[in-house]
Amino acid sequence: MGILDSKVPSGSLADKWTNHKNHIELVNPANKRNIDIIVVGTGLAGGSAAATLAELGYNVKTFCYQDSPRRAHSIAAQGGVNAAKNYQGDGDSVYRLFYDTVKGGDYRSREANVYRLAEVSTNIIDQCVAQGVPFAREYGGLLDNRSFGGVLVSRTFYAKGQTGQQLLLGAYAAMNRQIQRGKIQSHTRHEMLDIVLVDGKARGIIARNLVTGEIERHSAHAVVLATGGYGNLFFLSTYCMGANVMAAWKAHKRGAFFANPCFTQIHPTCIPVSGDHQSKLTLMSESLRNDGRIWVPKRLEDAQAIREGKLKPTQLKEEDRDYYLERRYPAFGNLVPRDVASRAAKERCDAGFGVNKTGEAVYLDFDAAIMRYGKEKALTSGMKNPDNKTVRKLGEEIVEAKYGNLFQMYEKIVDQNPYKTPMMIYPAVHYTMGGLWVDYNLQTTIPGCYAAGEANFSDHGANRLGASALMQGLADGYFVLPYTIGDYLSNDIRTGKIPTDSPEFDAAETNVTDRLKKLMSGKGEHSVDYYHKKLGKIMWNKCGMSRNAKELQEAIDEIAELRADFWENVKVPGTIDSKNQELEKAGRVADFLELGELFAKDALTRNESCGGHFREEYQTPEGEALRDDENFKFVSSWEYKGEPKDAVLHKEELVYENIELKTRSYK
């Protein structure tokens, strides 16, 4: 395997992490003061890593394009964070969280990484509570849990529908403490435009000050990329508008392998697209599937009447509704994993049962939950024979307490009251499991360049379970990277400050400036968004929820063509040396136009269906994903060789010693 050494420690699964920590090199506190670390991205992974590294004594510089670290898109995570605390006594354990995650990822993740994730998950909750994160509590004052897709226990900790915001504020507060101590220099409104290698090691970055347009050089002994996922490749997604792949892609071009680019999560419950003007899609938390039931009409004529506005969903009798998830997957019902739920929605809509104007929506219905909660509340309040109206009122209050902010968000966007009529939802791009290839230490194939959180590929295989992204971001940042990076930095205690006037920095800066000038020089007719939207359409139609060889090949050709057109004809107004949002966007879209092609190539190479990667050629007679463990039980790791079409595939064979590979079934 050569370069793809995953560096998984030997020993039994349960002891690997502890043994590894006991044996890796440490840096003494006095030496840490002489070592600089750059952290790019300040979401959960970057923010928590920066805070912890600074607390350990390293000099940390953080970079984010937002005006505050607190605004990174981790903030938008709604539902919760998993941890194997077993507070509910429902049979949860580290092993079970590990098992669920590997199975949920359709056996395409690395066992040792996932086990470590499950192991440190419990520390996350302890840590966050100590920091003052206001998780939801029960009346007894203890922490509350709820359930998420793909599991049979309640292990998800939450803070109403804004768990991500509360966790990020916790990490941000920890950062602020270190900023105040002078251990973190926070650079906001800055974007990393290239990574600088000296003697083959990551030694710094070139960044652009987004306010002044100034190009800056920053050096360090190691560079951590925690820059999130690349779902904005699809233009429409639940990502924030600024999310991009620039940092990871630049590292890729300098030698970091890019793993499993085609593993994308399409989340089943998002507000459907309403028109061509749409700029982004909004998620309705998976937690809603705890109480909401998903359905479409049983009869085509009913679906058509609903689409034409002649029939209301509330008028349809129970027996005329098809609760297709409960029908197809009785064991997990509405709580099947995201990839399964998304495909099932697409299948029904493709068959003509969609319920909005465009036929691309299904119902998420809370009526049963409202009545169930209302009845319980009425009984516990001492009402013997409450009428329906009272029960409904009480039930609505309880649903509001649980999901109020999500319901409000839905109403503001769609202009319909989800307490009175079922929500309409449809799948949307939400997360990317793929990312920079990292070893067990979270180091990429560039020495000294690390990747954490969604930016790396390691823990979620081909499909991520709900409430696991927050878990992974914080696990990487608080508990994994700060240890493993010391092993590498222990060799740097005598290196001294890295100068920024070296030929390597000169070359990187020239490279960056040339590219910016080239972006500004396009004389064409079209805005950046024009190209981004075109790319998004190709991705969604040909590399989306289901893929086939013919369309993937078409996508590769079309993206290459679009990229050439972009560089010739894109129109970027303004100047380089000032605030220029169009220029920022242009740089990001230029990267997407390269990654998109690699994405399609990766999907074309993987001749199997697994998790979120569904190839129409490989499915069971019932339409379930057909995995091929004999030939594809590996991580696709791509080496940059110029054009995306020339990228070279390296395989990391996945070894399963503790889990038996099975057909994933949620029936």
Annotated catalytic sites, by residue?
Answer: 338
Q: Counting contacts by CB under 8 A, is residue 132 touching another protein?
A: yes
Contact region for another protein (CB under 8 A) — 119-127, 228-236, 553-561, 589-597? Answer: 119-127
Q: Counting contacts by CB under 8 A, is residue 582 touching another protein?
A: yes
Beta pairing class for 222-225 and 449-451: parallel
Q: Counting contacts by CB under 8 A, is residue 273 touching another protein?
A: no
Q: Which residue has the tokens 């879209």?
A: 589
Q: Counting contacts by CB under 8 A, is residue 125 touching another protein?
A: yes
Contact region for another protein (CB under 8 A) — 30-38, 64-72, 201-209, 377-385? Answer: 64-72
Number of residues that bind another protein (CB under 8 A): 82
CA atoms within 13 A on the CB side of 663: 8
Helix (H, G, I), strand (E, B) or coil at 166: helix
**What is the spatial distance between Cα 252 and Cα 265, in angstroms, rounded to a whole number?**
21
Question: Residue from 48, 269, 472, 637 that binds another protein (CB under 8 A)?
Answer: 48
Of 132, 137, 127, 131, the residue nearest 158 (C-alpha) = 137
Of 565, 535, 25, the residue nearest 245 (C-alpha) = 535
Gyration radius (Cα) of the chain, Å: 25
Q: Which residues in the 583-602 window bind another protein by CB under 8 A?
A: none
Instruction: Tell the smallest beta-carbon distance from residue 309 to another protein (Å).
Output: 15
Instruction: Tell the smallest beta-carbon distance from residue 626 to another protein (Å).
Output: 36
Angle of CA points 418, 347, 308, to nearest 5°: 50
**What is the spatial distance between Cα 602 and Cα 605, in angstroms, rounded to a whole number?**
5
Question: Residue from 6, 109, 156, 188 that binds another protein (CB under 8 A)?
Answer: 188
Q: Counting contacts by CB under 8 A, is residue 283 touching another protein?
A: yes
Beta pairing class for 634-639 and 258-259: antiparallel
Q: Which residues in the 218-247 window bind another protein by CB under 8 A?
A: 238, 240-242
Q: Which residues in the 307-366 window bind another protein by CB under 8 A?
A: none
Q: Which two tokens stand for residue 650?
A: 């390296």
Instruction: Tell the smallest beta-carbon distance from residue 260 to another protein (Å).
Output: 26
Q: Which residue has the tokens 């319980």?
A: 376
The answer to whether 244 and 232 are in contact (CB under 8 A) is: yes
CA distances from 86 to 82, 135, 144, 490, 651 (A): 11, 16, 11, 37, 37
Instruction: Tell the smallest beta-carbon distance from residue 478 to another protein (Å).
Output: 5
Instruction: Tell the smallest beta-carbon distance from residue 584 to another protein (Å).
Output: 10
Q: Which residues in the 500-559 window bind another protein by CB under 8 A?
A: 525, 527, 529
Contact region for another protein (CB under 8 A) — 109-117, 145-153, 476-484, 556-564? Answer: 476-484
Nearer to another protein, 257 or 478 (CB): 478
Question: Residue from 14, 24, 26, 76 that binds another protein (CB under 8 A)?
Answer: 76
Question: Residue from 26, 55, 347, 548 that binds another protein (CB under 8 A)?
Answer: 55
Nearer to another protein, 166 or 636 (CB): 166
**What is the spatial distance between Cα 429 and Cα 229, in angstroms, rounded to a whole number?**
11
DSSP code for 498: P
DSSP code for 91: S
The helix or strand, by DSSP H or E, that contains position 314, with its residue range, turns out to be none
How many CB atoms are closer than 10 A to CB 549?
A: 13
Question: Residue from 31, 34, 282, 569 that binds another protein (CB under 8 A)?
Answer: 282
The answer to whether 59 and 497 are in contact (CB under 8 A) is: no
Question: Residue from 42, 127, 147, 463 that binds another protein (CB under 8 A)?
Answer: 127
- Phi and psi at residue 467, to the nearest 5°: 65, 15
Contact region for another protein (CB under 8 A) — 105-113, 164-172, 592-600, 632-640? Answer: 164-172
Nearer to another protein, 272 or 297 (CB): 272
Q: What is the separation of C-alpha 301 from the centre of its chain, rounded to a whole number of angstroms?
A: 38
Question: Residue from 28, 495, 541, 581 that binds another protein (CB under 8 A)?
Answer: 581
Nearer to another protein, 352 or 404 (CB): 404
Q: Counting contacts by CB under 8 A, is residue 450 touching another protein?
A: no
The answer to whether 239 and 231 are in contact (CB under 8 A) is: yes
Binding mask 396-435 for another protein (x = CB under 8 A): ------------xx--xx-x--------------------
